[in-house]
Amino acid sequence: MRRVRTSEILKIAAVFAILASLPSSISLFKTAPFSFEVFAGTDFKELILNLLVFFFFAWLVMQFNSNWGHAFRERSMTFKIGLYVLVNLGILIGTVSLYKLVAPSLIGNEISERKNDFLNFIFTIHFIILFFISRILRLQLYQRENQLENERLKHESLHNELAALKNQINPHFLFNSLNSLNFLVRENKEATLFIRKLSFMYRYILQSGDSDMVTVEEELKFLGSYSYLIKTRYRGRFMLNINLEDSNLQKELPPLALQLLVENAVKHNEISEEFPLEVKIYDEQGYICVENKIRPRTSLEEGTGNGLSNLDKRFFLLSNQHIQIDRNNAVFCVKIPLGSFMEQKD
C-alpha cells in the first residue's frame, strides 16, 4: 500500500501547530493591536506546550486518516466506518483530556472555564479541517496511482500491439523459408518429411495460441510430429510408446502439455546407445501419465527450468487441480488431470 509522504504530513502539522498557537503568541509577544483576553497571562512555557501538543495532534490525525486507517481497506464498510469514528474520537478526546491534565502542572496555572471552552473549540475546528485535508491527500495519492497505472497499461498495450504485428510477419517469413527449403531438398524424402513435420508443428503452435484447451487427439497429432523430429536426431535411441483409451481422446488439456513433458524427459536424461530413452504415455484413473526412467544427463541443455512449474500453474488456473509428480524406483512420472476443464472450474 502506498502512503502519503511523511514530510508532507510534518509540514502541514507544523503549519497547523503555529496557527493553533497564534492566539497564545499574540498575547505573549503583543505583536498585534488586539489580544485574546482568554490567553492573558500566557508565558513562554505555555506557548511551547501549545506548539508541541497541537503539532502532535495534527500529525496523529493526518497519519491515521491518510495512511494507517487504509491498512484495513479490505475489511467491510461497517468495520471501517466504526474504526474511523472510534479512533478519531479517541484522538480528539484523548489529546484534549491529556492537555488539560498536564497543562496546569507544567505552566503553574489552572485552566479557566472560558479558556477550557475555547480550547475545545480550537481542537474541534482544527480536527475537522485536518480530517478533510487528510482525505484530499489520500485522493490525490489514488489519482497519481491511477495515472501511473494508466500509463503502464498504455505502454503495455503498445508493446502487445507491436508484438502482434511482428507475429503477423514472422509466420509468413518462416513458412516461405520452409517452402523454399523443401523445394531445395525435394529429392531427399527424409529431409522433405522433416520440413513438413516442422511446418505442421509451427502452424499448430500458432493456431493453438488463441485457445486455452485442445483435445487429447489434437495434442497427440502434434506430439507425433514432435517425436519424429526427436527420433530423427537420436535415431533408435529414443522411443515413444502411447497407450490411451479411445474414450479419452476427446477430453481436453492445455495446448503443448504432452509435448512439454516429453521435451522435459529428453532434456534431463541421457540418450545413448547404451541408455536409450523410452517415454511412456498412458491413462490411469482420470489422469494421463508421462513416464520415463531416470538417467540424469551429465550436462543439461539450455532452458529456463520453469517448464513443469508453468504447466502446473496453467492446470490450476483452468481446473483448480495440480499436476502430480512422482519419483519412485528410478522412474519419473508426471500425471496430468483429464476432463472438461471449464466444468471443473465452475
Who's near 80: CB < 8 A, 6+ residues apart? Answer: 69, 72, 73
110 vs 295: which has the higher pLDDT: 295
Which domains are delineated in the chain? 6-153 (no CATH), 185-345 (3.30.565.10)
The pLDDT > 70 percentage for the chain reads 81
Give the integer Cα–Cα distance in Å for 156 and 140. Answer: 24
pLDDT band (50, 70, 90) for residue 204: confident
pLDDT band (50, 70, 90) for residue 169: very low
Whether the per-residue pLDDT at 208 is higher than 80: the answer is no
Number of other residues whose CB lies within 10 A of the CB of residue 143 = 10
- Share the mean pLDDT of the chain: 81
| CA distance between the termini of the chain | 32
- CA neighbor of 49 nearest in space, from 95, 106, 94: 106
Note the helical H segments in 209-301.
Answer: 216-234, 257-268
- CA neighbor of 122 nearest in space, from 49, 22, 29, 10: 22
pLDDT one-digit tens code per residue, 43-95: 677 788 888 888 999 999 999 988 888 777 777 888 888 888 899 899 999 98
Please indicate, yes or no, whether the overall pTM of this predicted structure exceeds 0.75: no
Q: What is the pLDDT of residue 279?
A: 96
Angstrom CA distances, 166 to 6, 42, 156, 198, stand at 46, 77, 15, 20
pLDDT band (50, 70, 90) for residue 167: low
Whether the per-residue pLDDT at 3 is higher than 90: the answer is no
Q: What is the pLDDT of residue 335?
A: 95
pLDDT one-digit tens code per residue, 296-345: 987 766 554 577 888 888 888 888 888 999 998 899 999 999 864 544 44
pLDDT band (50, 70, 90) for residue 218: very high
Give the integer Cα–Cα distance in Å for 61 and 2. Answer: 18
Q: What is the pLDDT of residue 341?
A: 54
Whether the per-residue pLDDT at 186 is higher than 80: the answer is no
Q: What is the pLDDT of residue 307?
A: 78
Task: Give me Rg for the CA atoms of the chain.
Answer: 37
Whether the per-residue pLDDT at 238 is higher than 70: the answer is yes
Q: What is the pLDDT of residue 196?
A: 81
pLDDT band (50, 70, 90) for residue 188: confident
Residue 279: is it exposed, middle or buried by C-beta count within 10 angstroms (0-12/13-18/19+)?
Answer: buried
Whether the per-residue pLDDT at 154 is higher than 90: the answer is no
Structure letter (DSSP) for residue 321: -
